[in-house]
Structure 1
Amino acid sequence: MRLDPRTVDAVVLDTDGVLTNSRALRSAAWQETLDAYLAQYAHVTGHPRPRRAVSASRVGGLTGLLEQDTAAALLQAQGRLANLAEQHLGPAGEDLLDLLVRYADHRFLELLQSEGVRARSGAARLLFDLRAAGIRTAALSTSRHGEQLLRSAGLVGLVEDRVDAADAEHYQLAGPPEPAMYRLALKRLHCVPGRAALLTDTAAGLAAGARAGFGRLVAVASDDAPWEGPEPVVPGLDAVVVPPAVR
């Protein structure tokens, strides 16, 4: 698959799952969070511990959403277990979603510190090639730690800009499948949508890119979560070619 500088001025790439393998750590953090929630439910209510209703692969797919949306989707799939009031997990009156997000984020940072993340095969080469061809790049993450992820993977100096959940919170942007975060990336790259390409490994990202008007949408097979949409366009970044710019 080719990204031709004659037709593409900028490329937005998902940090989680496309540039790095961080989706696996986020999935693990959320699985542990959900398991802790179910164990606490059993402890507080005296009921048997419910079985987790969401498969590990499904949890991985949900990490393409903002953390609040991931928590809401997991609770909806689990039936929310309304008997578990907020005061059983944290300060009275605190929102259950906020508690779960904070727990998952804390666990994710622990995993990031202890295990780190790695760049996916071909990521550094592709970013170098895009820069050499004069194509601007931005990395987009639905976590709050986009810069840390890129730094851990050795890619932080290879992208021109970043958008992550901290930006979404600051500007009050909805996450995928809504297009707002992707439009912000395009704005920072000073690129009209039709001259931009998006590389994503989630169906939510693909839907957001389509709504943002990207001229090129590329589904990339993930190392960590099954593709939820049509067959991936490319099996990985090694299959993406950037021809030299014509001077």
Structure 2
Amino acid sequence: MTVRSGGSTLAPALWDVDAVVLDTDGVITDSARVHAAAWKDAFDAFLSEHPPEDPTQRRPFDIRADYLPYVDGRSRRDGAAAFLASRGLDPSAETVRAVAADKERLFTARLRENGVGVYPGTVRLVHALRRAGKSVAAASASRHARELLTRAGVLELFHALVDGGEAARLELPGKPHPDLFLEAARRLGVPPDRAAVVEDALAGVEAGRSGGFALVVGVDRTDSAGTRAGLARHGADMVVTDLGELLAAGAPQ
């Protein structure tokens, strides 16, 4: 049986789920690149002022090599601590707070100056999911998620949102723990084994898998073999370059 509603057709992978939980940065909004650039400026400034003892660890932050494994999908403090530890630096609470605050300042400045867009394929998919009677939620470790979705004009498309502010209020552990996604599914009234998670971060797909979700979709917008393999290793059942791929052939584009 094909799920059709309003002229759109969902791909078979989504037929048997009742809800979909989508990460925000890099999945709904084109904000992952803004986060990555802000992290690079913050980390490079810190490394310049506090170079590691090991000369091989003094290289600048690399958006391709460092962002995905250490920062992407995590809270600011968890990301700062993970990267600093990877360079042999002591991630003390004071240092982590300082780096995270610098990143927040840089990100906010970029956001207010340039804004972010949304991915059209994601918007088409969310509309199709809603027409098919499936619930959709947005979830993000970022405290900016609500602002990003509001500025992009898509907040009302989601039945629920769990952002970094809510995660902190509820004291939810960050990814790769699944609590953020489990809370989103709970708010939708759907058990995880009847829901899907869509994520672009390694920590995020790992969280979806450990949370017992029925389907974990990885998103690799660079279409990189290495990134696709990494997402699969961390728990993605399938990897797409755009969420429009989750609309069956012949669906309106």
Q: TM-score, normalised by structure 1?
A: 0.83
Letter in 2 for 1:117: V
The answer (yes or no) to whether the contact 1:18–1:120 under 8 Å persists in 2 is yes
Match of 2:72 in 1: 63
**RMSD of aligned Cα (Å):** 2.6
CA shift digits 1:173-193 (9 cap, x unpaired): 111111111111111111011
SS in 2 for 1:230: helix
Structure 2 stretches of 5 or more lacking a match?
A: 1-10
Distance 1:60 1:152, change over 3 A: farther
Structure 1: runs of 5 or more not aligned: 43-47, 87-93
Q: Deviations over 1:115-159 (max 9, x none)?
A: 111111311111111111111111111211111111233321211
Q: Tell me how far apart the structure 2 counterparts of residues 134 and 2 of structure 1 sit (CA, whole Å).
A: 15
Find out whether 1:162 has 2:161 as its counterpart: yes
Secondary structure of residue in 2 paired with 1:65: coil
Pairwise CA distance, 1:51: 3.0
TM-score calculated relative to the size of structure 2:
0.81
What corresponds to 2:240 in structure 1?
Answer: 234
Q: Which residue of 1 aligns with 2:81?
A: 72
User: In structure 1, what residue type is equivalent to 2:107?
Assistant: F
1:195 correspondence with 2:197: no
How many residues are paired up?
Answer: 227
Task: Indicate the structure whose relative CO is greater, using CA pairs within 8 Å and at least 6 residues apart.
Answer: 1
Whole-angstrom distance in 2 between the partners of 1:108 and 1:134:
36
1:64–1:204: 8 Å Cα contact kept in structure 2?
yes
Match of 1:126? 125
- Determine the structure 2 residue equivalent to 1:45: none
Whether contact under 8 Å (2:44, 2:61) holds in the other structure is no
Tell me the CA shift for residue 69 of structure 1.
1.1
What is residue 2 of structure 1 aligned with on the other side?
12
Kept in 2: contact 1:218–1:234 (CA 8 A): yes
